[in-house]
Amino acid sequence: EDQVTQSPEALRLQEGESSSLNCSYTVSGLRGLFWYRQDPGKGPEFLFTLYSAGEEKEKERLKATLTKKESFLHITAPKPEDSATYLCAVQINTDKLIFGTGTRLQVFP
Amino acid sequence: DGGITQSPKYLFRKEGQNVTLSCEQNLNHDAMYWYRQDPGQGLRLIYYSQIVNDFQKGDIAEGYSVSREKKESFPLTVTSAQKNPTAFYLCASTLMGGEAFFGQGTRLTVV
């Protein structure tokens, strides 16, 4: 069965304290892996797409990496405005798009 | 501007009533999706469609129905068979292999 698992469920960081979020997946026929940010009461906002193992993408304080079994979202020196839920999604060959349960990140000043 | 429009933003359903949530996109995307999100949870796939007049069940399709008569439109009906419909519903669309674009969601409440 295709499955996407994110950890931890929740993460509290002090401003400037770097950390990583994990997304592990077990799917047949990976087409792409996506990271999204979601603020309360809103639709998810696209961050990154990764297509093959070894690929990395960066944007401001965020960096996403991909292996054959998992992806990491590294947050360097986070700020309070980075507080949100971060969602990982995997698209498989049939166009099915499967989301993980998300990591709720809180960054305190 | 291109994008996805969901309506209404808030919807109230009485017991035993069917309601339809609207999702329209002008991005010329082929695939469209419906997700349900419960408080503090991730997105669970209800239905998805790759082309007009065809759609596939997701993980939690029971109590829901969809249609895809036009490329731009993918309405979701929450039927009376769905016993716990109170949730936040999100519609998305993608080009093949590309990132999903989301609407702003519909919050459905049973009264």
Q: Within 10 A of B108 (CB to CB), how many other CB atoms are there?
A: 21
In whole numbers, what is the pLDDT of chain A averaged over residues? 94
Q: State how far the Cα of B99 lies from the Cα of B5, in Å rounded to an integer.
A: 17
Give the three-state DSSP class for B45: strand
Q: Are B21 and B9 in contact (CB under 8 A)?
A: no
CB contact under 8 A, A44 and B50: no
Q: How many residues does chain B have?
A: 111
The per-residue pLDDT for B92 is 95
Written as six digits, the tokens of A41 are 């009461």
Closest alpha carbon to B33 in B8, B6, B1, B62 = B6
Tell me which of A95, A103, A104, A105 to substitute to probe the interface with B (most B C-beta atoms closer than 10 Å): A95
Q: What is the pLDDT of residues A53-66, one digit of tens each?
A: 999 999 999 999 99
The per-residue pLDDT for A96 is 85
Q: State how far the Cα of A3 lies from the Cα of A90, in Å rounded to an integer.
A: 9
The per-residue pLDDT for B1 is 63
| pLDDT, mean of residues B61-72 | 97
For residue B75, what pLDDT band results from cuts at 50, 70 and 90? very high
The per-residue pLDDT for A29 is 83
